[in-house]
């Protein structure tokens, strides 16, 4: 019974396309996140949502648009994909904004 699940696991697409990644958590947490992990394994926060409200937008290009339809879901839509968007994207959740995060399995996005 996966706590934080994201789909798809792999995504290969051409430059200029638009794609979405979905995330769901069944932990009852009120806070969800998107992180980007680059090829050197460096993890950087992109967005934080608390009770469906955007709390943190870490200077991410506006081609990236998160959407939280409810507390259990946080989706990420990316417009006009660029080569530099290739990375592993992790969804995570926590209870409140200062607790441990539970991570999904990651989505490996490759833009060709």
Which string of x and - marks every residue 18-37 that binds other proteins (by CB under 8 A)? Answer: -------------x-x----
The verdict on 50 binding other proteins (CB under 8 A) reads yes
Which of 6, 31, 51 is CA-nearest to residue 93?
31
**DSSP helix/strand/coil, 67:** strand
The only residue of 28, 39, 40, 70 in contact with other proteins, by rule CB under 8 A: 40
- The four Cα atoms 74, 88, 47, 4 give a dihedral, to 10 degrees, of 40
User: Could you list the residues that contact other proteins (CB under 8 A)?
Assistant: 31, 33, 40-45, 48, 50, 55-56, 58, 90, 92, 96-106
């Amino acid at each position: 019974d996966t706590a934080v699940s994201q789909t798809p696991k792999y995504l290969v697409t051409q430059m200029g396309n638009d794609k979405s990644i979905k995330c769901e958590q069944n932990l009852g947490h009120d806070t969800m996140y998107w992180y980007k992990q680059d090829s050197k394994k460096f993890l950087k926060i992109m967005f934080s949502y608390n009770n469906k409200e955007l709390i943190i937008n870490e200077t991410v290009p506006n081609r990236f648009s998160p959407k939280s339809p409810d507390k259990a879901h946080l989706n990420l839509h990316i417009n006009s994909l660029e080569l530099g968007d290739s990375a592993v994207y992790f969804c995570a959740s926590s209870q409140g904004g200062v607790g441990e995060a539970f991570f999904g399995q990651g989505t490996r996005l490759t833009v060709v």
